[in-house]
Amino acid sequence: MSSVHTEVRPGVHTAGPASLHAGLVRRNPGEPEFHQATLEVLETLAPVLAARPEFVEARVLERLCEPERQIIFRVPWQDDSGAIHINRGFRVEFNSALGPYKGGLRFHASVNLGIVKFLGFEQIFKNSLTGLNIGGGKGGSDFDPHGKSDAEVMRFCQSFMTELHRHLGEHTDVPAGDIGVGGREIGYLFGQYRRITNRWEAGVLTGKGLQWGGSRARTEATGYGNVLFTQEMLKRRGEELDGQQVVVSGSGNVAIHTIEKAQALGAQVLTCSDSGGYVVDEKGIDLALLRQIKEVERGRVGEYAERRGLSATYVPGGRVWDVACDVALPSATQNELDADAARILIRHGVKAVSEGANMPTAPEAVALLKEAGVAFGPGKAANAGGVATSALEMRQNSSREAWTFERTEAELAAIMRGIHDTCAETAERFGRPGDYVAGANIAGFERVAEAMLDQGLI
């Protein structure tokens, strides 16, 4: 990574991205995901820092990389047999220059402070790119809701919110769902918040039930948004998604709605996966069957192949990236697409890769894809549809309105087109045409940095 050289006032201490990142690693040991996320951003900001020395003088980068607040707390709860368990809860309120902190809660055994910080840092840029007034934050717990009864999940959520509620508010911090946190968990969390505060503050959580303040199209938004972003990348190259062969990883909410939207736009989606392996279906994924298995029965994708027939094959322990395709949409978890997978995709002639999950493509893989001329949509831009629709839910809550699915989807489509165009135009403005990573990082950074300057040294 090269250092940035700018003319600044005498006596003003500045640090280039390389030394800044080295300092971040020292101050945040044992947090590789956070190190990776910050490095990916810092490596692309040299042109804007050279052009805008006021950002360097005000040490905006140093301030941006340090969360405004990090909250860690104990979450005690009882299971159905009466046994007591202790989990750890997190909320990292990273940056509120553009609006209240906004970002999901993740309940998964892998959750730790470094994971939450990486997600929260990404969220700053993602939320900025939407053009809406929302800051960046993230939270969660190392609690795993899988295999727990509804009563156990409720008791955990109530204990979690008993501590977290003091840090939330529709003008302060507005969480949503993420991995392991769906409608059930949001309901329990909101119920406890209401019980403690004696306020019907619908805008304090998003992803709510439609009968009590939720937004139509919120469930679909992340997957739909990534497909819409991919469509725009292909259009810029003179192509359409219609007729393309697509591989999708995962089989959760994001993957299912990615498959749904891609099929609606005429693509043939060949794969889905879970932690056990993947399915490839020559006829294209039967979405109704996949939904029955994953959403209703909470089963495994191996069962899909058993029930689908001869067109489907289950590959235990395999990766969808081995399947030849035109478009790849990683929609499961971080760093699932590594350098070896990228080489296979390139060898098969992939045209576009776009991230439905958060940071699912390893840095080495991103470099290989860009070098090969593959259109690459980074998650902070491509999967921003979910948080954008959460912000639309907040807007509806503020005005006590409930929009139709069609209106919400139209708003989502306009936002995703805007994000794509902003990234593409910013990349061109800084001499990096076609580089959506640089475009997303710079555009997201500029908006936040300008707000931080306007608001003084805080």
Binding-site residues for NAD(+) = 222, 253
Distances (CA, A) of 208 to 211, 391, 394: 8, 12, 11
Q: Do 97 and 445 meet the contact criterion of CB atoms below 8 Å apart? A: no
Tokens of 102: 């906004």
Q: Do 240 and 369 meet the contact criterion of CB atoms below 8 Å apart? A: no
Q: Which residues are annotated as a binding site for substrate?
A: 102, 123, 126, 177, 390
Looking at the DSSP bridge assignments, the partners of residue 274 are: 277
Q: Using CA atoms, how far apart are residues 433 and 456, in angstroms rounded to an integer?
A: 33
Q: Do 395 and 371 meet the contact criterion of CB atoms below 8 Å apart? A: no
Distances (CA, A) of 191 to 81, 138, 180, 456: 24, 20, 18, 38
Tokens of 447: 């908006």
Q: Using CA atoms, how far apart are residues 222 and 386, in angstroms rounded to an integer?
A: 4
Distances (CA, A) of 72 to 166, 185, 302, 380: 13, 20, 38, 25
Tokens of 439: 């475009």
Q: Which residues are annotated as a binding site?
A: 102, 123, 126, 177, 222, 253, 390
First CA to last CA distance, the chain: 29
Residue type, 199: R
What string of DSSP letters covers 322-353?
GS--SEEE--SSTT-B-HHHHHHHHHTT--EE
Catalytic residue among 117, 138, 261, 370: 138
Q: Is 117 a catalytic residue?
A: no
Q: Do 144 and 121 meet the contact criterion of CB atoms below 8 Å apart? A: no
Tokens of 25: 């690693």
Q: Using CA atoms, how far apart are residues 257 and 330, in angstroms rounded to an integer?
A: 13
What string of DSSP letters covers 278-319?
EEEETT---HHHHHIIIIIS---HHHHHHHH-TTEEEEET--
Q: Do 387 and 177 meet the contact criterion of CB atoms below 8 Å apart? A: no
Nearest CA to 186 out of 134, 198, 168, 172 is that of 168
Looking at the DSSP bridge assignments, the partners of residue 376 are: 353
Q: Which residues are identified as catalytic?
A: 138
